[in-house]
Amino acid sequence: MIGKKLVIGITGTIASGKDVVASILKEKGFQVISLGEIIRDELSSKGIPITRKSQQDLGNQLRKEFGGQILAEKALKKFQSYSTPLVINGIRNVDEIKYLRENADFHLIGIDAPLEIRWERLKKRNRDSDLLNHDRFVIDDARDKGFNEPLNGQQVGMCLVHADFLISNDEDFSGPIENSKLYKEVNDIYRKIKSKYS
């Protein structure tokens, strides 16, 4: 993998802890980009309200028009001048994984948690107002995982199958993140990846 940038991808279900994993890796010197950020920037430039559905719809539209790899391609291009390793958060399509495996020294972390635990987290963080309805959350979660989605659509369920490392983030944790099971698991994964370079 000489000459290829070290990239750790994160895929996972809604409110499973993807952002926390990304922040732990950021502490270790990784540059972090979220594919969701790319989509939200596009929505803002078009004057479209940012909701879970509008993000899913635009992601699908971009992959349909420009290929399933388009968001991963945009992320890599944006950071090609950086010398630091990269975390790409919010991978939701298998074509993004294929592209990154071909164009980077790529490792994929998958994260999941039981639906009701994730629902409780959503209510606590109170960030996604469009998801703070249990029925809406169940529908959007199923879509996110790939239910009734086209090939260019949301495929988090399939992405999890392709993960090199899987984390079950089912802990209800409220103390310092450094004491959590999740922090320890991400550290273990980081050490395994880093050992390939020592």
Residue 4 binned pLDDT confidence (cut-offs 50, 70, 90): confident
Widest Cα–Cα separation across the chain: 48
Residue 196 binned pLDDT confidence (cut-offs 50, 70, 90): confident
Burial class (CB in 10 A: 0-12, 13-18, 19+), 51: middle
String of DSSP letters for 118-183: HHHHHHHH---GGG-SHHHHHHHHHHHHTTT--TTS--HHHHHHT-SEEEE------S-GGGSHHH
- 2 pLDDT more than 50: no
Token pair, residue 194, equals 């880093």
Name the CA dihedral angle for 83, 94, 164, 5, rounded to a multiple of 10 degrees. -10
Q: Sketch out the chain's domains with CATH numbers.
A: 6-195 (3.40.50.300)
pLDDT at 1: 41
> pLDDT tens across 38-79, in order?
999 999 999 999 988 899 999 999 999 999 999 999 999 988
- 24 pLDDT more than 60: yes
Section 115-121 average pLDDT: 93
pTM of the model: 0.92
pLDDT at 128: 65
Section 157-167 average pLDDT: 97
Section 1-27 average pLDDT: 90
Whole-angstrom distance, CA of residue 168 vs CA of residue 92? 18
